[in-house]
Amino acid sequence: MKQHRLLRALRREPVDATPIWIMRQAGRYLPEYRATRERAGSFLALCKTPELACEVALQPLRRFDLDAAILFSDILTIPDAMGMGLTIIENEGPRLERSVRSIADLNRLGDPDPEMELRYVMDAMRLIRRELHDRLPLIGFAGSPWTLATYMIEGAPGREFVHARGMLYGDPGLLHALLRKLARCIARYLQAQASAGADVLMLFDTWGGVLTPAGYREFSLHYMKEIIAGLRQARVEAPVIVFSKGASACLEDIAACGCDAVGVDWTADLGAARARIGQRVALQGNLDPCVLTAAPEVVRREAAAVLARYGAGPGHVFNLGHGIQPQADPDNVFALVEAVHDLSRAHHGCADPRASG
């Protein structure tokens, strides 16, 4: 497994072709996913039934020549396990029954054991690992402390995060206390995922970009750095990818946090990102997800453009710049995966683009 092209790319070692996986690759754009979701009865039931979570994680691998599987779960499993009461409302998003707005709220939070309150996640991970038969690496993940905190403070979906950002200025001590607690929980959770079979770990910092650069460094990046240091102290060898959406102004700081790869969203130029940090870490990204709603020839053209912007040599994991949209055409995903493997070989010194991997 250590010689798989994804793991080699994350170590910035030579590969035959650029590896590709897709954020939210198991999801609503696939009819088989929608059928399984219907059978489960709800999104949360799907997440909490290991056999069904395993099934949907494997579904895209049956259609597409992807270079990794990823755990099917949700970033809000941790707040739910802490006793916050998660519900997912169709076409609206997640809601938590309680919110954290005071020290009393913080003190009521539980301290979940990954093999107890989150056992269903670990069981799904073990099932996926077993079904893969070591064909592909398996990616585990968690939300970043800041991103989880935004949901826990707000209690409902949003984009402005008035209460969370207000706490940053009005009661930073409380916010730091919440983030410290979350960082400890997330480190344990990711360590358990690695023990259950994850070959790669990823931190999704979806809302890091709503902060000022200084706020990002203090309230988001600092705690992701703590998590990665904790994983290394626990001798977890799995490479870690950090994806902070909208935080390209802080790429140098992210690259210095101890991660092995930095995810780049579609608003950043991949070539410029490589020039800034590509000698220190691998890069992941960064096709605009909406390209997958266009025609296959457009998909191939835009994939070629992303590959060209990164340029020749190792250290690139192809992905979207954020999660795949429900409106994406599965035929376009097939075209994308084929184009990346085909067109990227020239960037790695392979003269025959049809050569096997």
**Catalytic positions, written as ranges:** 24, 28, 37, 74, 151
Residue identified by tokens 């269903």 is 120
312-330 residues labelled b (16+ CB within 10 A) or e (exposed): eebbbbbbbbbbbbeebee
Neighbours of 350 (CB within 10 A): 15
Residue 20 sits at φ, ψ, to 5 deg, of -140, 135
Q: Is 241 helix (H, G, I), strand (E, B) or coil?
A: strand
Helix (H) or strand (E) run with residue 59 in it:
helix 50-63
How many CA atoms are closer than 13 Å to the CA of 110, on its beta-carbon side? Answer: 16
What is the DSSP pairing of strand 93-96 with strand 86-89?
antiparallel
CA distances from 4 to 241, 250, 356 (A): 17, 30, 14
- In DSSP notation, 316-333 reads EEEEESSPPPTT--HHHH
Angle in degrees, 0-180, between the axes of helices 145-154 and 162-170, rounded to the nearest 10: 110
Residue identified by tokens 């191939």 is 300
Residue identified by tokens 């220190």 is 280
